[in-house]
Structure 1
Amino acid sequence: MSERLITEADIDAIALGAAVLGTGGGGDPHVGSLIAKRLIRLHGPVRMIDVDELGDDDFVVPIGGIGAPSVSVERIQAESELLAALRAIEGATRRVPTAVMPIEVGGGNSMLPIAAAALAGLPVVDGDAMGRAFPEAQMVTFHLAGYGPGTTVLVDHHGNEVVSRPVDGAWSERLARAATVEMGGAATMIDYAYGGAVVRECAIPATLTAAKRIGAILLGRGAGGVELRDDEKIDALCAELGGVRLFDGKVADLQRQVEGGFTRGAAELEGVGDDRGDRFRLDFQNEMLLARRDGELAAVTPDLISVLDLATGQPITTEALRYGARVAVVAMPCHEKWRTPVGLDNAGPAHFGYDVEWQPVEDLARRRIERKEAA
């Protein structure tokens, strides 16, 4: 298999695409990309390997940030945290990492594994454990397959290291979230570090490649190298992902606060263009989780809901959303693993306390079109 390298020139596209897949969460893509670019510049390109290239003897370490995205923008992750986390997991497990991977393909959390790989001279796996970003530590495909979090590591910029062995994914979230709050609301985390056989079984493959392809569209490079205008990017993105353009609007009200280690809130949109006269609401907990048009369900977790700048198509994270912003809301089907009963139990609307039934976003969109045509 030919060697694939992630260079400094690749970072912007991967970060942009991951921010779309991150549905508003997963950390700030700009901050993460600056860290990754700097470390690639200093240490050279990062080798990217496919999930199915992993051998049984490999020890794959998912590394990323945990906490409220609003905090991570203000308290930039120190590069020393990445090496400290890798040293801590090696010391606690007595296994030497042979590769790193994203735990989620969120904006910043797609960049930190690449940065860690450059710093440590390790390859990064082209895959993750969500196919998007989720706010809680147990919302990973390892957990869906029945695997526990194993030895977990938290480090912060003060030099604190917390090593724990939670009994299951739910306890991993509870313990890590409490420690993260005490660490100031953001930390570097390693969990679900497993051998190559388990990663091959559980990981969602090729998500960094998908992010790069999405990012290329947002940078104006369409299929076959066709140059895209800004007003073509959102529709091209939906076509690429099998997505739906749910609403074009202006942010008319925004409630957002850091609570319990999460950025929580809701945004109210007033329609513009063809959607003038309608209203749209987005509820989020780090990530966009629920979308309603005039009170009617438009999309809901675990399907992906992303907010894009209406003029440029650039993804907007929950902490960057602002009053008056003109945005497009798009939604995409989640990976099939999240549409199973165990997937919906762990990341469906009921888990977050929403009194709605999950329905596939493509079905919701089709029924709305049918009603509109019948009117």
Structure 2
Amino acid sequence: MKIEVSDIPALARGCAVLGTGGGGDVRTGSLAAIRAIQAYGEVPLVQLADLPEDALVVPLSGIGAPTVSHEMIHGEDEPRRIAEEIERIFGRPPAAVMSSEIGGANGVAPVAWAAQLGLPLLDADGMGRAFPEVQMVSMYVAGLPADLVIMSDVAGNVVTIRPVDGLWSERLARAVCVAAGSHALMADYVLTAGRARGAVIEGTVTRALALGRATEGTSEPLRALQRELGASRLVTGKLTDVERRTSGGFVRGTATIEGAGDDRGRTLTLELQNENLVAVENGRVRAMVPDLITVVDTETAVAVQTEGLRYGQRVTVLAWPCDPLWRTAKGLETAGPQAFGYDLDYLPIEELEGEPRG
């Protein structure tokens, strides 16, 4: 399969849903992907089994505050500089690009980066969603050493970091990101295809495409998306309060949705750190990270990123189960509610909500 220009709208819609509010605005990633395909050609989508054991896979993502990415857009030189640094270090060029996180612009933009580098895109990622911190990837949970991070910014700087572990990779990469204006391109966990087996979440590009296509040509896009996700509907209503601040390379804040129609009288609050992390209604937790919580436009089922939340929007909040990897002890230690500072013991969305609500 090759990713064509006609695939980008569906891919973007699916990545926005999987972004759970973060990962960057898909509009900029979509424009970059379309332009790159037009300039360099369609991008082959390959499976991990298609690659030789020693083929170098490069997980790429933007790092920083999503609000900054609107104005500080990646150029073509950044992925090229990272690829050159990889070849200098390993003595051979990369064989494939992989999205570090399939959510948001970080799920769409790798199509552009792959096209610019003349490489295929791997049908996999390191999260199955979006997370805000560098160590919050499946490779870290699988126990792979985070011994190389390469970053490039719009000014032309290239920084190679040799962290001692995943937590230090976050600290050091975040410091470089803040120095670069809270936005940079990053390759982390550069690994061979052999080491990637069992350490990445496969099939996520295909999954994003399926989610995007689920809402095409239907008079009930919200119901179609909820069905495709197997999601619970937490509330439908109006955004009545949004509080956001950008600090330390993150967007943090809260959003409040007051129920309408059948949900009138209910109020749901979302806790944000780039992504939607916890949903609370009247002191009761309705869903929590690492399960996925996404805000979508009630009429169109188009996902709304955290930086796009505005007073008065009519929205629906959906939640559904994460990849099983995140429910392991190491997965919850890495990206469960306590990893974000919440005094909560993780409970799966299935236990909190029972059967998905219509």
TM-score (norm: length of structure 2): 0.97
Q: Take 2:344 and 2:54, find their aligned partners in 1: how far apart are those partners?
A: 44
Q: How does 1:197-212 map to 2 (within 5 A)?
A: 197-212=194-209
Following superposition, the deviation at residue 368 of structure 1 comes to 10
Match of residue 87 from structure 2: 90
SS at 2:83 equivalent: helix
Whether 2:239 is the aligned partner of 1:251: answer yes
Q: How does 1:219-258 map to 2 (within 5 A)?
A: 220=216, 227-229=217-219, 232-258=220-246
8 Å CA contact 2:230, 2:356 repeated in 1 = no
Following superposition, the deviation at residue 367 of structure 1 comes to 8.2
Read off the aligned partner of 2:333 and give its amino acid letter.
D
8 Å CA contact 1:89, 1:152 repeated in 2 = no
CA RMSD of aligned residues (A): 1.3
Comparing 350-359 with 31-40, greater Cα deviation is found at 350-359
Following superposition, the deviation at residue 44 of structure 1 comes to 0.6
Q: Take 1:281 and 1:263, find their aligned partners in 2: how far apart are those partners?
A: 16
Read off the aligned partner of 2:26 and give its amino acid letter.
P
Following superposition, the deviation at residue 87 of structure 1 comes to 1.4
Q: Take 2:198 and 2:243, find their aligned partners in 1: how far apart are those partners?
A: 40
Whether 2:352 is the aligned partner of 1:364: answer yes
Match of residue 337 from structure 2: 349
Whether 2:265 is the aligned partner of 1:277: answer yes
* Moved beyond 6 Å, runs of 4+: none
Q: Take 2:350 and 2:52, find their aligned partners in 1: how far apart are those partners?
A: 37
Structure 1, residues 19-50: CA drift from partner, whole Å, max 9, x if none? 10110111110100000100000111000001
Following superposition, the deviation at residue 238 of structure 1 comes to 1.7
Q: How does 1:1-375 map to 2 (within 5 A)?
A: 4-218=1-215, 220=216, 227-229=217-219, 232-366=220-354
Q: Take 1:131 and 1:142, find their aligned partners in 2: how far apart are those partners?
A: 12
Following superposition, the deviation at residue 5 of structure 1 comes to 0.3
Following superposition, the deviation at residue 293 of structure 1 comes to 1.5
1:368/1:243 Cα in 2 relative to 1: closer, same or farther (>3 Å)? closer
Q: Take 1:205 and 1:368, find their aligned partners in 2: how far apart are those partners?
A: 25
8 Å CA contact 1:51, 1:203 repeated in 2 = no
Q: Take 1:93 and 1:260, find their aligned partners in 2: how far apart are those partners?
A: 32
8 Å CA contact 1:25, 1:134 repeated in 2 = yes
Q: Take 1:251 and 1:94, find their aligned partners in 2: how far apart are those partners?
A: 52
Following superposition, the deviation at residue 145 of structure 1 comes to 1.1
Following superposition, the deviation at residue 157 of structure 1 comes to 0.6
Following superposition, the deviation at residue 51 of structure 1 comes to 2.0
Q: Take 1:362 and 1:82, find their aligned partners in 2: how far apart are those partners?
A: 40
Read off the aligned partner of 1:88 and give its amino acid letter.
E
Read off the aligned partner of 2:246 and give its amino acid letter.
V
Structure 1, residues 55-96: CA drift from partner, whole Å, max 9, x if none? 211100011100000001121121221211221222233331
Q: Take 1:242 and 1:289, find their aligned partners in 2: how far apart are those partners?
A: 19
Structure 1, residues 254-301: CA drift from partner, whole Å, max 9, x if none? 110101100111001111111111100001111110001122100000
Q: Take 1:108 and 1:248, find their aligned partners in 2: how far apart are those partners?
A: 25
1:367/1:101 Cα in 2 relative to 1: closer, same or farther (>3 Å)? closer
Match of residue 223 from structure 1: none
SS at 2:308 equivalent: coil
Number of equivalenced pairs = 357
8 Å CA contact 2:231, 2:356 repeated in 1 = no
1:28/1:368 Cα in 2 relative to 1: closer, same or farther (>3 Å)? closer
SS at 2:353 equivalent: helix
Percent of paired sites with the same residue: 47
Read off the aligned partner of 2:53 and give its amino acid letter.
D
Match of residue 372 from structure 1: none
Q: Take 2:246 and 2:101, find their aligned partners in 1: how far apart are those partners?
A: 21
Q: Take 2:356 and 2:121, find their aligned partners in 1: how far apart are those partners?
A: 41
Q: Take 2:101 and 2:88, find their aligned partners in 1: how far apart are those partners?
A: 24
Read off the aligned partner of 2:11 and give its amino acid letter.
I
8 Å CA contact 1:26, 1:134 repeated in 2 = yes
Comparing 34-43 with 350-359, greater Cα deviation is found at 350-359
8 Å CA contact 2:221, 2:299 repeated in 1 = no
Gaps of 5+ in 2: none
